[in-house]
Structure 1
């Protein structure tokens, strides 16, 4: 019966198609969407450029059809998944240089920049480990530091119940061939129930210079946050983070040199009702030197090359009533 019904439907479809007049034309519809580009010969990339119109970086990522698991509100801690990948299988990059947290992907979105510091965010929804490293199995999220210094002052502020307050401001000034930007972000809440409070602030600065046909960008950002991890690992768990991220980029056309450094300290208290029971402390350092260029061979195409060297250092210890334990082994 199913086969007969399927054949009947196909015959009806065919009859309807051939019954159309020869001059029949479908109406055209234009659907607006975000820009799409192709990155280094891999898959299509969603490119969002209206970054400053969003409240936060997380809200921008949600617009890109990414599964964003907010483990707490207001970007306190979030996990990112692209097409079913784990949170540890998505690579985060700044100006094309990946900077994933070397301890855990849970901390990848502890970003020391605001929506006023980013000109675009490109989301590659497939693996690209060749260029971005082993963490890029599920995809890549690349933030581009804004190089256009538009003189002025921007501010966003919000408030709510349970002591909620947040404010973001950015001021920019140009000095001839030099441009300078300073941004600050603050958010806090007393929490709507036990151990859901948070307190976070971000401070960063950007310097842009255009000399001899080249472009130099220096960005340094710092973030500090303390929050109750009630819904993360246990009702009484608590976490604090301190991180600094800096990048210096020098470019002449398609030739670019990037030097990225990142440091972080995070402290995890298993039970704040008994803080001496166990506390985990992680200290991390990263440094990356990247050189890339695109060679154009005219009708024969182009060749993208990238050479990168990096160093990662981590020290992880657990402090309990019985003493100190190296979480990385002896």
Structure 2
């Protein structure tokens, strides 16, 4: 581990001696305003479309795991199920958005990453590390992932296909068509695998449609998608010995949005419907032994307004959301959530000092009222150097699984209280077009943290409010572009220390499953039509030990055709990311993408 840290330090020193250029401004899309990233007083990472296309990632989960602070706890291949943790949070404490629309599932966070599209649909991904409850509400606890899919203007189609080990194959097609005022995008995809061990086969399919209609200063957008996953769930739940488990999930999303400016006044609004279906069998051959069926419907809408004056920029918004569930195990459940959001942006000292106070209020019938205050402060020392700090309160009410789930090995707790935390961070950032250096320290003090625990190996898991969890961490990122064959090098490191304040020594299912040390390094090289990206990761997990992973992608690119070879886990490492589920060894994929205009 020391060698890894020394390598990162050496790169950060060399970084300052390289030739510099002016920064190419990146704009982050917020709830009320779009803000240049240099003016944002938070730790935000934006993954561009170019980075997505060049990475060895086959999915959003693969992509996110290459960035420090992001802990993807996967079970199996083809993203059949992925739990996302940011800086030691639980998978229930991360909010996932698609173009600003919430994808979180009231039944369980295990289904949050059931995304109705593949990588061909994604324009960029915005990662907010740290609390964002005052803008987005509950679940924005450890961080927020906003996946942006844009309508193109090329009047073009794209075909992609791949095949490889474990009888794995995928096939997809997409097209964009229209004009400046009315654009459309559609994408369909399917992927199958026989699995890398007994009962890990998978069948995943999706379809996605999006449009945009412009009238003067107004934009109307609509999006709709559907994904279905069928997969063997060998050891996913209950016990590693439960090898015959099986699951099918379906997720649908439909939303419409509108935004318009009237001089200094702006408004944006949306309505949405997310439907989730989850069918689980303890034994796929003998479904009569134990079967769960859950059908959830989240219906909601938002209205956000903004106003620019001599006193700064103000945003005020309201959201209504109904979360309903019908389940043979969890019963028939429903709750209606009301949330109000407010924040104000102040720029002083020739816009070098940016102060952003804000607060949100939420009402959960039968649970209570909650306030999430927060404050971001950033100071630009010059065009390239920035210091920032923020503090905020967050809150999460239990999922229906936390409250009501019952099986032979687990039981929920209808008396659970919401968990809440104070979060804080202070950091420094240096950025130019070719260079990036980020250093930050952060912490989170959680009260009434929700975890699944038991007192002995023979006992069953029970959802509980454990007294207090204190998280402290340190993070650094360094990236440098060169005008050589090797044209991009980056490293990232995150250290986390989670401490539970409780007297008994109960077994913990999720809170102590985080990474303690995480080191990522990426190298990109290009010569003529050939390009490659190699990603190395070192993960040391508190409960499951440490492991090293190496992925690589080799591309051959022409104007219309890209042929690639993808190799995951080159060193054939043995490792698990969660629940003692072993992950695949070394595997190869060969594929192509062909794009052409109509």
- Alignment partner of 1:265: what SS? strand
- Counterpart among 264, 268, 274 of residue 286 in structure 2: 274
How far apart, in 2, do the equivalents of 1:318 and 1:101 lie? Answer: 16
How far apart, in 2, do the equivalents of 1:35 and 1:59 lie? Answer: 23
- Counterpart among 185, 194, 202 of residue 198 in structure 1: 202
How far apart, in 1, do the equivalents of 2:304 and 2:149 lie? Answer: 17
The equivalent residue for 2:35 is none
The equivalent residue for 2:304 is 292
Offset at 1:124? Answer: 0.6
The equivalent residue for 1:3 is none
More helix by share: 1
Offset at 1:273? Answer: 3.7
The equivalent residue for 2:191 is 187
- Alpha-carbon spacing, 1:248–1:192, altered in 2? closer, same or farther (3 Å): same
- Counterpart among 223, 230, 244 of residue 236 in structure 1: 244
Alignment of 1:1-330 (within 5 A): 27=17, 30=20, 43-50=42-49, 53=53, 55-65=58-68, 66-175=70-179, 177-233=181-237, 234-253=242-261, 254-298=266-310, 300-318=311-329
TM-score (norm: length of structure 2): 0.47
Offset at 1:267? Answer: 0.2
TM-score (norm: length of structure 1): 0.82
- Alignment partner of 2:105: what SS? coil
Q: Can you list the C-alpha shifts for 1:111-165, whole angstroms capped at 9, x where unaligned?
A: 0022233322111100111222221111111122313333211222111133211
Query: Following TM superposition, where does structure 1 have runs of at least 4 consecutive aligned residues deviating by more than 3 angstroms?
Result: 26-42, 326-330
The number of aligned residues is 298
Q: Can you list the C-alpha shifts for 1:173-196, whole angstroms capped at 9, x where unaligned?
A: 115622121101110011232110
Do the aligned residues in 2 keep the contact of 1:172 with 1:179 (CA within 8 Å)? yes
How far apart, in 1, do the equivalents of 2:313 and 2:228 lie? Answer: 43
- Alpha-carbon spacing, 1:251–1:33, altered in 2? closer, same or farther (3 Å): closer
Segment drifting more, 76-85 vs 43-52: 43-52
- Alpha-carbon spacing, 1:48–1:293, altered in 2? closer, same or farther (3 Å): farther
Do the aligned residues in 2 keep the contact of 1:38 with 1:45 (CA within 8 Å)? no
Do the aligned residues in 2 keep the contact of 1:37 with 1:46 (CA within 8 Å)? no
How far apart, in 2, do the equivalents of 1:219 and 1:158 lie? Answer: 27
How far apart, in 2, do the equivalents of 1:182 and 1:160 lie? Answer: 26
Q: Can you list the C-alpha shifts for 1:36-64, whole angstroms capped at 9, x where unaligned?
A: 85957762321122165153222332243
Do the aligned residues in 2 keep the contact of 1:147 with 1:217 (CA within 8 Å)? no
Indicate the structure (1 or 2) with the bigger Cα radius of gyration.
Answer: 1
Do the aligned residues in 2 keep the contact of 1:64 with 1:123 (CA within 8 Å)? no
- Alpha-carbon spacing, 1:96–1:217, altered in 2? closer, same or farther (3 Å): same
Do the aligned residues in 2 keep the contact of 1:166 with 1:187 (CA within 8 Å)? yes
Offset at 1:69? Answer: 1.4
- Alignment partner of 2:140: what SS? helix
Segment drifting more, 287-296 vs 76-85: 287-296
How far apart, in 2, do the equivalents of 1:81 and 1:212 lie? Answer: 41
The runs of 5 or more residues in structure 2 that have no matched partner are 1-15, 32-39, 331-403, 407-411, 415-598
Do the aligned residues in 1 keep the contact of 2:169 with 2:192 (CA within 8 Å)? yes
Higher RCO, Cα 8 Å, sep 6+: 2
How far apart, in 2, do the equivalents of 1:62 and 1:36 lie? Answer: 23
Q: Can you list the C-alpha shifts for 1:272-330, whole angstroms capped at 9, x where unaligned?
A: 243211101101001110111222123x22112221111110012149xxxxxx95999
How far apart, in 2, do the equivalents of 1:163 and 1:96 lie? Answer: 36
The runs of 5 or more residues in structure 1 that have no matched partner are 1-25, 320-325
More strand by share: 2
Do the aligned residues in 2 keep the contact of 1:36 with 1:45 (CA within 8 Å)? no
How far apart, in 2, do the equivalents of 1:163 and 1:311 lie? Answer: 42
How far apart, in 1, do the equivalents of 2:268 and 2:30 lie? Answer: 16
RMSD: 2.7
How far apart, in 1, do the equivalents of 2:281 and 2:134 lie? Answer: 37
- Alpha-carbon spacing, 1:206–1:229, altered in 2? closer, same or farther (3 Å): same
